[in-house]
């Protein structure tokens, strides 16, 4: 891509700009894949998980709160990534914008995938906090699903680049996929959490 093999006849500088944005966003989403905060969000409650059922907090508020806490960590990763890229290549404002927007949208999906896995089979019986983070199979499962999902989106983005599509489609398709996926997973999460709260009583 960097040599201008994609978008034949186009400006290689423009090609490189969009390539950097998509790759950067992909790296951010990958950070969301390996981030174990979402895939251990319920397991970390341990034996105190019952408290979540007694608190007067709506399920949707719990979902949003857990997503936001994970995205806060992602923001730190984005800042570190953009700072590193700034010293290696010339980042433009549009690079920073697309990397941040697409990266965060994709990260929401990764967090929700981890939450679905963790609420489906929470590890609540533990005596060492490290066991939840480092010895929790949910982290591995969520990471595997997330990587497959990201691979599919990445291959689609690569195909769009070879088809010389407009920028609206090039960036719009991944964004729409992330938005639709996050909404779908949100609905699944609401049902799973309500069901598990009853089963785990």
pLDDT on residue 84: 84
User: SS3 sequence, 41-67?
Assistant: CCHHHHHHHHHHHHCCCCHHHHHHHHH
**What's the rounded mean pLDDT across residues 17-46?**
86
pTM of the model: 0.85
pLDDT on residue 101: 94
pLDDT (tens digit per residue) in 158-168:
888 888 788 88
pLDDT on residue 90: 75
pLDDT on residue 164: 77
Give yes or no for residue 180 having a pLDDT over 60. Answer: yes
Span of 75-84, 97-106, 168-177 with lowest mean pLDDT: 75-84
Give yes or no for residue 169 having a pLDDT over 70. Answer: yes
pLDDT (tens digit per residue) in 85-142:
878 877 888 889 999 999 999 999 999 999 999 888 888 777 777 777 777 888 899 9
pLDDT on residue 201: 57
Q: Is 31 exposed, middle or buried (0-12, 13-18, 19+ CB in 10 A)?
A: buried
- Separation between Cα atoms, residue 53 and residue 103, nearest integer Å: 32
């Amino acid at each position: 891509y960097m040599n201008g093999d994609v978008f034949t006849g186009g400006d290689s500088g423009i090609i490189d700009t969009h390539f950097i944005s998509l790759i950067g966003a992909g790296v951010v989403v990958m950070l969301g894949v390996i981030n174990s905060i979402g895939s251990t969000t319920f397991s970390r409650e341990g034996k105190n998980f019952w408290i979540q059922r007694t608190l007067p907090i709506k399920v949707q508020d719990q979902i949003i709160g857990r997503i936001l806490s994970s995205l806060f960590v992602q923001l730190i990763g984005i800042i570190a990534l953009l700072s590193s890229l700034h010293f290696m290549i010339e980042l433009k404002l549009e690079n920073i914008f697309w990397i941040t927007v697409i990266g965060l949208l994709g990260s929401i999906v990764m967090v929700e995938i981890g939450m679905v896995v963790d609420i489906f089979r929470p590890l609540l019986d533990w005596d060492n906090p490290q066991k939840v983070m480092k010895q929790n199979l949910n982290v591995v499962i969520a990471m595997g699903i997330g990587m497959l999902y990201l691979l599919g989106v990445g291959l689609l983005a690569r195909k769009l680049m070879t088809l010389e599509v407009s920028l609206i489609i090039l960036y719009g398709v991944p964004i729409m996929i992330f938005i639709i996926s996050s909404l779908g997973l949100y609905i699944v999460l609401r049902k799973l959490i309500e069901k598990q709260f009853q089963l785990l009583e």
